[in-house]
Amino acid sequence: MRVYKAILVFFCIVFPVIAFAEKAKTIDELAKMYDSSRCKSCHAEIYAQWEKSHHARPLMGVADGLMLVPVVKASAFTPKDPKQATLKNFPCVKCHLPQALISAEDSVAAELSEALLAGDKVKVGKLQITCIVCHNEKAIVHRLQEGNPEKNVIYGTKNIDSHPDKTFTKVKKSVIMTQAIYCGQCHGTGPNFEFENPVQCATLYGSYQHSYIPQGGFQTCQECHMPMVNGKADHLIAPNWNDKNDSSARLSKAINLDVQTLGYQWLRKAGALTPMVVVNTKISHTAGHRIPDG
């Protein structure tokens, strides 16, 4: 009996500690857990592309505008006291920082609130959709069948028995990595009704499924947005809105404005010619979904 009690006490003490130790209490701890800087030494080109991408600065906003400031200042989610903020004050992390939901304590949300109010871009900028977020956490969607992503596995486009990274020692094929559903996890289908106050941000995946595909489109997000550069999928995943010249060039290539005009004279009554014009405009584009989104 005593042994049984001792075991029970052991479990009561040890388990909460373990569960607790698995979650990050600070922004620095969370950033460290998903830190992908070591991937750079072997995947330099992909790393350089990713660093310039929006996925590398998902809480910064276009031109580092700190777009989460309105959430903590004046929204349905604004905490009464930023020091008391919890992850519930940030429904945005579902897609902008999914690792927070599984690996962060509420104290990270409180620290984030304070950093946003202080305009601390260096701190907010540490929170990224890193290589590990995409190649581990987001690599499996059908978890009842396939289970959760394994801790020491990087998921990619093929199986590789030994991968020379110190933590991720294997590469396994993810069945969704090259499919649109993979991007759809964050690129949205409509309002997110699971929150007490539903929020709607990106809905582009909805438009891909309900407009592009039914109209006969068959390319994936990856085929259009991650073309091969030197034999590897481009991780800039353009557009990068901070690069205005490149974005304008892309949009002017993708959007067509077709204008047809007919000028004529309307003979209302003898001798009274009224000049008239008919203008037909048609805007079309080559994207696999509505643009702009959001």
Site for ligand HEC in 63-122 (CB under 6 A): 67-68, 71, 91-92, 94-96, 98
Q: Which stretch binds ligand HEC (CB under 6 A): 25-33, 140-148, 215-223, 264-272?
A: 215-223
**Contact between 156 and 177 (Cβ < 8 Å):** yes
Q: How far is CA 195 from CA 13, 79, 143, in A?
A: 33, 16, 22
Residues in the chain: 294
Buried b (16+ CB within 10 A) or exposed e, 1-34: eeeeeeeeeeeeeeeeeeeeeebbeebeebbeeb
Query: Which residue, 174, 239, 172, 184, is CA-closest to 208?
Result: 184
Cα-flanking dihedrals φ and ψ of residue 199, to 5°? -120, 150
Residue ranges in 148-207 that form contacts with ligand HEC under rule CB under 6 A: 154, 156-158, 160, 163-165, 168, 171, 177-178, 180, 182-188, 192, 199, 201-202, 204-205
Least separation, in Å, of the C-beta of 171 and ligand HEC? 5
Residue ranges in 269-288 that form contacts with ligand HEC under rule CB under 6 A: 286-288
Q: Which is nearer to ligand HEC, 2 or 282 (CB)?
A: 282
Q: What 3-state DSSP class applies to 269?
A: strand
**Contact between 208 and 221 (Cβ < 8 Å):** yes
How many residues lie near ligand HEC (CB under 6 A)? 81
Residue choice 69, 141, 213, 291 for contact with ligand HEC (CB under 6 A)? 291
Residue choice 38, 52, 170, 210 for contact with ligand HEC (CB under 6 A)? 38
User: Residue 284 forms beta bridges with which residues?
Assistant: 256
**Contact between 135 and 154 (Cβ < 8 Å):** yes
Q: Which is nearer to ligand HEC, 33 or 67 (CB)?
A: 67
Q: Which stretch binds ligand HEC (CB under 6 A): 18-26, 31-39, 80-88, 140-148?
A: 31-39
Least separation, in Å, of the C-beta of 93 and ligand HEC? 8
What mask of x and - would describe binding to ligand HEC in positions 1 to 30, judged by CB under 6 A?
Answer: ------------------------------
Cα-flanking dihedrals φ and ψ of residue 254, to 5°? -85, -25
Least separation, in Å, of the C-beta of 191 and ligand HEC? 9
Q: How many angstroms separate the CA atoms of 240 and 68, rounded?
A: 19
H or E element at residue 111: helix 106-117
Least separation, in Å, of the C-beta of 215 and ligand HEC? 11
Considering the rule CB under 6 A, would residue 139 count as an interface residue with ligand HEC? no
Residue choice 23, 106, 233, 243 for contact with ligand HEC (CB under 6 A)? 233
Q: Which is nearer to ligand HEC, 17 or 255 (CB)?
A: 255
Q: In Å, how far from its chain's centre is CA 84?
A: 26
